[in-house]
Structure 1
Amino acid sequence: MSTENKNRDTAAAILPLVGGAANVTSIAHCMTRLRLTLRDRAKVQDEALKALPAVMGVVEDDTYQIVLGPGTVARVTPEFEQLVEEGRATAHPTSAEDLAKQGTALKAAQKAKNATPFKLFLRRIANIFVPLIPALIGCGIIAGFNGLLVNLGWLPTVTPALAAMASGFMALIAVFVGFNTAKEFGGTPILGGAVAAIIVFPGVANIEAFGQKLSPGQGGVLGALGAAVLATYVEKWCRKWVPEAVDVLVTPTLTVLISGLVTIFGLMFLAGEVSTGIGTAANWLLDNTGAFAGLVLGAFFLPLVMLGLHQALIPIHTTLIEQQGYTVLLPVLAMAGAGQVGCAIAVYLRLKRNTSIRTTIKSALPAGFLGVGEPLIYGVSLPLGRPFITACAGGAAGGAFIGMFSMLGDKVGSTAIGPSGWALFPLLDGNHGLGTTIAIYAGGLLVGYTVGFVATYFFGFSKQMLAELNVAEPSAVAAAPAEEKAPATV
């Protein structure tokens, strides 16, 4: 079977289990999840979805999220979109009652979205930055490989070309952020990109604002985001007041002119100060309170992922990569996944008779080592309760280990966002050589695995849990006592 047929078969298997094409109102995907907005949640067959070989788990948040894993989700999504379009083309409401039901469902979905402005904001942030991650990963790996060649003195005629490939995207990332921001906020994407391009234009070095010369790139992605949002609102304002006869000339001109002037004489300076503050704060935090900061960040990252709040960190990571060439926060946060892996191994050994949970762990553990933690979170630790907390303890220990070395002057960073676990090794960078950086990160993973395992093995189960779960019962997790299912920290 070809890869294309396999992806289409996966999409075809998922569609009827989420209620068919008529039940799907929007489709999107991130690094690992197919995200669907549904008219009627009751039509979804959760257990049947989880049983599909390609599905690692499901998550219900502001959207219904089906975990397929990196790479797979990007291939399945277009097939799923095509099937939904084909289904809509052949599906027609059979009565006025059907139409009324659809209208009621749409209103309810819209009301639910508007009732959670913070989640809507985070989703918009994700929609702006997540499409950039593949380029960040590709360029980051090339940058790491090029750095290795330069340090070894190999292929001196090739390394300048590799440097250009690795740096070209980052030099213009503000333009892509501006384009995606305008698109997300309902403006004309190319106008958002045009205004954001001002930030990286070399000629801004001749302009003075707030008593100092501007520098190309000042304000970075935060400035680009703000400039594009402003451009969107200026454009919408123009659409209301500019006569249609001259709209095509006047609206784009006023949009670029007004938002461009505000960007040059305001946003670039202000966003530059904020960006500098973020970099300074992140470095100060790890340099002065590294072990404690790493402990806190590593401990709470799994709950952030579970709640979808980790999306708020994307602009911070991107700003650090833009400023320093790598983000010092991601390797610390990646330790949460290490704690999860150690936890899963301990659960596997403690529940020797529970074939259902052990099968889930065996299928999800390889993805866990590569940094895809959702199958283990939603399929193992979170439903059990206590193991979720002990997994967080493993993340805290690994984060404290990385943070301790940062306090000693050995920074560990990632040149891109997205991967973690073993998949982060090709993207590692630091201030004391690649060998030292890899050794510290590997040590952090080992600490996270070990503490997550030990904490779960000895403290992850009460006697009652072991008595009820350590049986050859496929529905053992469902039989766990209610008080043990809901982790107290969530």
Structure 2
Amino acid sequence: MASTTTTSQHILREIGGAENVTNLTYCATRLRFQLRDQGKVDVEKLESDPAVLGVVKQGTTGMQVVMGGGVAEYYNELVKEPGMGDLGEEGASSKSKKEYEGVRGKYSWVDYGFEFLSDTFRPILWALLGASLIITLLVLADTFGWQDFRAPMEEQPDTYVFMHAMWRSVFYFLPIMVGATAARKLGANEWVGAAIPAALLTPEFLALGVAGDTVNVFGLPMVLNDYSGQVFPPLIAAIGLFWVEKGLKKLIPSAVQMVFVPFFSLLIMIPATAFLLGPFGIGVGNGIASLLETVNGFSPFILAIIIPMLYPFLVPLGLHWPLNAIMIQNIATLGYDFIQGPMGAWNFACFGVVTGVMVISIKEHNKSMRQVSLGGMMAGLLGGISEPSLYGVLLRFKKTYLRLLPGCFLGGVVMGFFDVRAYAFVFTSLLTIPAMDPIFGYAIGLAVAFFTSMLLVVFLDYRGKEEKAEALARIAAEREEASRAEDERIDAADTAVATGSPERVVAPGDTFQIGSPLAGRVVPLNEVPDEAFAAGAVGKGIAIDPTGDTVVAPADGSVMVAFPTGHAVGLKLDSGVQLLVHIGIDTVKMEGEGFELLVAKGDRVTAGQPLVRFDRAAIEAAGYSAITPVVVTNHRKLADVVALTATGEVAVGDPVLDATAKVTETV
């Protein structure tokens, strides 16, 4: 199985390299790229790595790469790659301008609206997931008769009051979190965005009266509302804050903006939210909720079928986020929600599909699909996350929706029959079943949805005839290739023994010397004028201030990465060591000027073979340092990487690094 680092390098390579990326963020399961040229992406090669569950293009510049629950690890590796350090989420968040990134289409303002909702709620998901499981524990305690989940706090034991505080902390102060993330997405100050709704949750504001009262403030009537758990008021307030900040920055000199922009922003936006935007936001939320409640009141049975039949089409487009907001709104205003229960039918039909795919993959010895489906199934059943299943399986094969929708429909029928309701916002998984009422009816609905879709896949397959034939042919070819490779290995070993030259085996403690790939003066890595290299985040090694103009292969191996700009080249040496030579600092910005790349990715190279020629004078004329880091990027898989010299002049081929093996492997 490929390592996180190798997979991250593969992704970066197949999307056109760091120079093709303008922005990178990630959500619960997906890497979210913004690209200069979407046409440079090789989707087929990108999906060839088993860790990549799917690729989704968005408009003309967006690209989502679905990685599953471990997406953060791949993100962390990607931002360490040369040229990627200033494109991550932290770098993006520091920009003062509004970023219209993501979905692109004919009506970009609509696309951005849904992206705005998605990126507002995405950072809060961790807190919501954690709180939803605490709720589940309390509901289980209610089920076993240990406490009454809905009883007033003054009637509950102190232990349970404290546990209620643990989950209510997330939902009560949700407007503050939403205010911060929404402002951040728009480009306004996130802490001011948080302070606006926070003002409406303070004891002083609550002391003015109860929801529905009208009080006199500044000589004007103010209608009081309960803003705890609300999402629409802070969303609208964040939009207002963006425009207020934009206007203030035009009027206030930059030298004093840090003091007076937040001052006037708070002075304007808190009253505006309390008098106007807050009540309007609550009205919007109540209006949408009332519309759905009307449909539910007319026929809960019909709504319970509509919801799971809509979700398979809403989630791929990111259009399900408004419904999540309505669920929270329903619980805040009605005390229960009627969307979450039927939504579970869609989720479990989805998980049933991938479970069926896993069963077939095991029978067919289809390793790649077995990994994809197992990851999707576990993320779904235990975490309630549908994206790995959706992007890894459902959107990749023709027949999957024909297996999915019957499960959604029949599960929705059962949910409608039992009129399933949720009394707390939770994510749909096996662990949160007790949060629904009635539990028995909800569990039956999930089982019907799951097994309907799973059995349809098992008996009717998830692929068309051509897709299945192609997959079986590929599996047969892979098995034949593996068998042939094993035969060749055995033959080679027999030949080596017969000739007295046994096959080389790398054992723990074996050390490989790495020669210098260029001539120059050795510089300690921690003195490199680049934080990532200096901290060893990219890899362990040294740097060289070059005196020559050519980078050569220090040993036999193959080219893993050959940047089109020529500023860097990555090798996998026959010893297993992966070596990166990065010519100069920030030289990717030279866009190839002054560099001549002499090899291509996949080329076989021998010791001393020229890889790149460069012009030091051009590098310095462009204002960049020519110091060249030479680092071992897979150092975590080695026992140690040691610099043989910290200073002094070296010629091409002079030993500069020792790499010590950690595991036994045949090379």
State the identity %.
25
- The 1:428–1:51 alpha-carbon spacing in structure 2 relative to 1, beyond 3 Å, is farther
2:176 aligned partner: 175
1:194-233 map, 5 Å: 194-205=195-206, 206=208, 208=214, 213-217=223-227, 220-233=230-243
Q: How many residues align?
A: 439
- The 1:191–1:375 alpha-carbon spacing in structure 2 relative to 1, beyond 3 Å, is closer
SS of alignment partner, residue 158 of structure 1: helix
Which residues of structure 2 form unaligned runs of 5+? Answer: 88-99, 148-155, 477-667
Q: Pick one of 16, 22, 26 that aligns with 1:25.
A: 22
Q: CA deviation at 1:132?
A: 0.6
Q: Pick one of 35, 39, 47 that aligns with 1:42.
A: 39
1:432-447 map, 5 Å: 432=437, 436-437=438-439, 439-447=440-448
2:122 aligned partner: 130
SS of alignment partner, residue 435 of structure 2: strand
1:95 aligned partner: none
- The 1:186–1:323 alpha-carbon spacing in structure 2 relative to 1, beyond 3 Å, is same
CA distance, structure 2, for counterparts of residue 109 and residue 183 of structure 1: 13
Q: Pick one of 234, 237, 247 that aligns with 1:237.
A: 247
SS of alignment partner, residue 36 of structure 1: strand
The CA RMSD measured in Å over matched residues stands at 3.8
The reply on whether 1:333 has 2:343 as its aligned counterpart is yes
CA distance, structure 1, for counterparts of residue 355 and residue 235 of structure 2: 42
1:104 aligned partner: none
Whether contact under 8 Å (2:233, 2:278) holds in the other structure is yes
Whether contact under 8 Å (1:328, 1:414) holds in the other structure is no
1:117 aligned partner: 109
1:364 aligned partner: 373
| Per-residue CA distance 1:188-240 (angstroms, 9 max, x = gap) | 11111111212322333427269775134178221111112112211211111
| Per-residue CA distance 1:153-198 (angstroms, 9 max, x = gap) | 3794532222222111222111111111211112111111111212
1:70-149 map, 5 Å: 70=69, 72-83=70-81, 85=83, 116-149=108-141
- The 1:77–1:324 alpha-carbon spacing in structure 2 relative to 1, beyond 3 Å, is farther
Q: CA deviation at 1:344?
A: 5.0
2:318 aligned partner: 308
The reply on whether 1:385 has 2:369 as its aligned counterpart is no
Q: CA deviation at 1:429?
A: 2.0
- The 1:39–1:248 alpha-carbon spacing in structure 2 relative to 1, beyond 3 Å, is closer
Q: How does the TM-score come out when normalised to structure 2?
A: 0.58
SS of alignment partner, residue 220 of structure 1: coil
- The 1:306–1:36 alpha-carbon spacing in structure 2 relative to 1, beyond 3 Å, is same
- The 1:428–1:235 alpha-carbon spacing in structure 2 relative to 1, beyond 3 Å, is farther
Whether contact under 8 Å (1:149, 1:159) holds in the other structure is no
Whether contact under 8 Å (1:22, 1:87) holds in the other structure is no
Q: CA deviation at 1:329?
A: 1.7
2:473 aligned partner: 473
Look up the equivalent residue of 1:177 and give its one-letter code: V
Structure of greater relative contact order (alpha carbons < 8 Å, 6+ residues apart): 1
1:153 aligned partner: 146
Q: Pick one of 23, 33, 52 that aligns with 2:49.
A: 52
Computing the radius of gyration from Cα coordinates, the structure with the larger value is 2
SS of alignment partner, residue 26 of structure 1: strand
Q: CA deviation at 1:380?
A: 4.2
| Structure with higher helix content | 1
Whether contact under 8 Å (1:332, 1:402) holds in the other structure is yes
2:432 aligned partner: 426
SS of alignment partner, residue 33 of structure 2: strand
CA distance, structure 1, for counterparts of residue 78 and residue 466 of structure 2: 43
CA distance, structure 2, for counterparts of residue 215 and residue 87 of structure 1: 44
CA distance, structure 2, for counterparts of residue 51 and residue 226 of structure 1: 43
- The 1:404–1:116 alpha-carbon spacing in structure 2 relative to 1, beyond 3 Å, is same
| Per-residue CA distance 1:430-474 (angstroms, 9 max, x = gap) | 4x5xxx32x222211221124335666788899xx5487457323
Whether contact under 8 Å (1:128, 1:180) holds in the other structure is yes
Q: CA deviation at 1:263?
A: 1.2
CA distance, structure 1, for counterparts of residue 205 and residue 231 of structure 2: 16
- The 1:325–1:367 alpha-carbon spacing in structure 2 relative to 1, beyond 3 Å, is farther
Whether contact under 8 Å (1:351, 1:469) holds in the other structure is no
SS of alignment partner, residue 350 of structure 2: helix
2:614 aligned partner: none
CA distance, structure 1, for counterparts of residue 360 and residue 473 of structure 2: 15
Q: Which moved more, 1:28-37 or 1:310-319?
A: 310-319
SS of alignment partner, residue 335 of structure 1: helix
Whether contact under 8 Å (2:58, 2:104) holds in the other structure is no
1:100 aligned partner: none
Which residues of structure 1 form unaligned runs of 5+? Answer: 90-107, 477-490
- The 1:311–1:84 alpha-carbon spacing in structure 2 relative to 1, beyond 3 Å, is farther
Whether contact under 8 Å (1:365, 1:376) holds in the other structure is no
2:263 aligned partner: 253
Q: CA deviation at 1:59?
A: 1.6
SS of alignment partner, residue 35 of structure 1: strand
Q: How does the TM-score come out when normalised to structure 1?
A: 0.77
Q: Which moved more, 1:275-284 or 1:137-146?
A: 275-284
- The 1:300–1:115 alpha-carbon spacing in structure 2 relative to 1, beyond 3 Å, is closer
Q: Which moved more, 1:366-375 or 1:247-256?
A: 366-375
SS of alignment partner, residue 188 of structure 2: coil
